[in-house]
Structure 1
Amino acid sequence: MPDLLLLHGALGAASTLHPLQQLLEADFNVHTLNFRGHGGRQMPQGPFRMELFAEDILRHLDQHQLQQVDIFGYSMGGYVALYLALQHPDRVGRIFTLATKFAWSPETAAKEVKMLQPEKVQEKVPAFAAVLARRHQPNEWQEVMRRTADMMQHLGSYPMLTEETLPRILVPVRVSVGDRDNMVSLQETAWAYRHLPNASLQVFPDTHHPLEKVNLGQLQHELRQFFGKDAVLV
C-alpha cells in the first residue's frame, strides 16, 4: 500500500488525526507524528519554527526508510508540508492541505495571537484548556500556546510561502478550505492555488476550521481520490 503521512495543526497532536487515520488504513500505510513540543514530545531548546517541524518530518522519513511520501497537512501541518516540498522536493510526492493559512503579515499574526493567551483561555474556555492539558502532558499546554504565538508572530514578519516561493513548488498539490472557516479565507486559499504551478482548489461545504467539525467521511473520499494511483488534477 502507498505511504501517507498525516500532519497535525498548531496546538494539535498526532492523536487528533487518529479518527481520520483509522478511516484511511484500509487503503494506505498511514504515518503520523508529533511535532516537537506537541503531544507530549520533548520541547525543543529553541522556539517553534517551520524549519524545526520540517526537520521532524525528514527524521521520521529516514527512521522509516521512506525516500518519498504523500502528505495530508491540516492547518499548520499543510504549511510545513509545502515548506518541506520547497526545500526537499525529492522527499515529497503529493500534498493535500486543509484549512492552511497562507495570508501571513504582522497584522494577521497579531489577530491570531490575540486568541493564544493562556490566562484568557483558562478563564473563558476551561474545557478547551483541559483538552490541551491532556493532549500535551507532561508538557505544560500554556508553554505550547506561548511558543505557538511566538511562531505565528515570526511567520507574520517572515512568511515562507510567498508569491516568489510558491511557484517553485512543483509537486502536485490540492489546497482546500471549508466555506465556513473563520480563520482561513477562500481568498487566501485561492491565492495560494493561483501561485502553485501544479495545483487544484477545493472548497468543503458547511465546514468550519476545527478538524473535529470536518466531515471525515467526505475528507476520506477526497484523499483516496487525490492520492489514488489514477489520481489526476482537475
Structure 2
Amino acid sequence: MKISKIPYYIFILLTVASCSSGQPFQLREVPSKITSEPIEKGLAPIKDIQMYYEIHGKKDGVPLVLLNGGGSTIEVTYSRILPLLAQNRKVIALDEQGHGRTTDRKGPVSFETSAEDVVALLQFLKVEQADIFGFSNGASVALNVAIRHPKLVRKLVFASSITKREGAYPMFWNFMKNATFENMPQALKDAFLKVNPDPQKLHTMYEKDAARMRNFKNLSDKDIRTVGIPILILLGDKDVPKLEHAVEMVRMIPKARLLILPGGHGDYLGEAIMSQGKDRYPELTSALVQDFLDSP
C-alpha cells in the first residue's frame, strides 16, 4: 500500500481464485460508458428515517442489494459497476443512514441498526429474499443482515471489510486515534454535497462514521460460523483488510469462496473517487460476481 494513499484507504474503510460455474470466463467487448437509469426511486419510511433507494435493471427475479461504503453515496461506490450488474438482474441500491439522501436519526450509527434498516427496506419493497453486495462498511452491514436474518439472504458478497480489529493493519487504528473531518478526501465531501447540500449533515455523518470505527467490536467466531449461505470474500491484493484475515474467514464459513483482485481499496469497483475510467476492473469484477451469484 502506498503511504500517500493511506488516509484515503483508511477513511473509506472507516467511513470503513475463481468463482466459476464451470463455464470459461471471457471479458466481453462493451461500450466505453454504460449508464443505468433507475426504473424506480424514492424515500422509504424506515422506522424514524427516510431511506433513499433506487431500483435498476429487471423488474423481477432475486434482487441484488448494493450497500455503499462508509462516507460514500451510491454514486461514489457503485457508479461504474452498477450499470453492468443491472444489465442482467434487478439491482436495489441505497444510501445508509445519514449518508447522501437518507435522513439521520438521533444517536450513533452502527452496523446492527443499519442492518435492520436494510431489512426494513426490503420488507417495504416486498422482497422475500435477496442477494447482498456490501463494500467496506457496507460489507459489515451485509454480514450483520445475514447473521440476524439468515432466511432473507440467498448469497452474500463481502468486499473489503473486517470482522475483527486485528483484521486491519495497525496503521489503520493508529490513524483513527487522531482522525479529523479535515482528513476526509475533498472528493467524498463534494459527492455528499452534490446530493445533499447541507455541510452540517456532512460533518455529522463523518463524526458518526468515525465513532463507529473507533468503537469497532469484533464479531464472535460463533456468529460468523452460523453463516450457512454461499459468501464471496472479495478484496484487493493491496487492500486495507489483511489477506490473512480473508483467508481466516474463508476457513471459518462453510460455503465461503475467496477472490483477490489487483489493486487497493475499491480499485476493483472503479470507485468514482479513484478511477480515471481507463481500466476494465469494473467489468472484470462484475462478471466474476455475477458468475458467483448465478452458480448453483
TM-score normalized by the length of structure 1: 0.86
Once the two structures are TM-superposed, the CA of residue 132 in structure 1 deviates from its matched residue by: 4.0
Q: Which residue of 2 aligns with 1:143?
A: 204
Contact preservation (8 Å) 2:73, 2:192: no
Superposed CA offset, 1:93-113 (max 9, x none): 000121112332696773352
Q: Which residue of 2 aligns with 1:186?
A: 243
Q: Which residue of 2 aligns with 1:209?
A: 265
Matches within 5 A, 1:20-169: 20-104=81-165, 110-111=173-174, 113-114=176-177, 116-121=179-184, 125-134=185-194, 136-138=196-198, 140-155=201-216, 158-159=217-218, 161-169=219-227
Superposed CA offset, 1:135-190 (max 9, x none): 553353221111011111221xx22x232211011111010110011x21111111
For residue 264 of structure 2, what is the amino acid of its counterpart?
A: H
Instruction: State the Cα RMSD in Å.
Output: 2.3
Q: Give the secondary-structure state (helix, strand or coil) at the position aligned to 2:121.
A: helix
Superposed CA offset, 1:196-216 (max 9, x none): 1211111112x2103415711
1:220 equivalent to 2:278? Answer: no
Contact preservation (8 Å) 1:47, 1:147: yes
Once the two structures are TM-superposed, the CA of residue 46 in structure 1 deviates from its matched residue by: 1.4
Superposed CA offset, 1:208-231 (max 9, x none): 103415711111111110111xx1
Bigger-Rg structure (1/2): 2
Which of 69, 75, 79 is matched with 1:15 structurally? 75
Contact preservation (8 Å) 2:72, 2:99: yes
Q: Give the secondary-structure state (helix, strand or coil) at the position aligned to 1:19.
A: coil
Contact preservation (8 Å) 1:133, 1:140: no
Change (3 A) 1:73 1:52: same
Q: Which residue of 1 aligns with 2:10?
A: none
Q: Which has the higher contact order (CA 8 A, sep 6+)?
A: 2
Q: Specify every segment of 5 or more residues in structure 1 that has no aligned partner in the other structure, as ranges.
A: none
Q: Give the secondary-structure state (helix, strand or coil) at the position aligned to 1:177.
A: strand
**166-175 or 107-116, which moves further after superposition?**
107-116
Percentage of identical aligned residues: 23
Please give the alpha-carbon distance, in whole angstroms, between the structure 2 residues aligned to 1:29 and 1:42.
Answer: 25
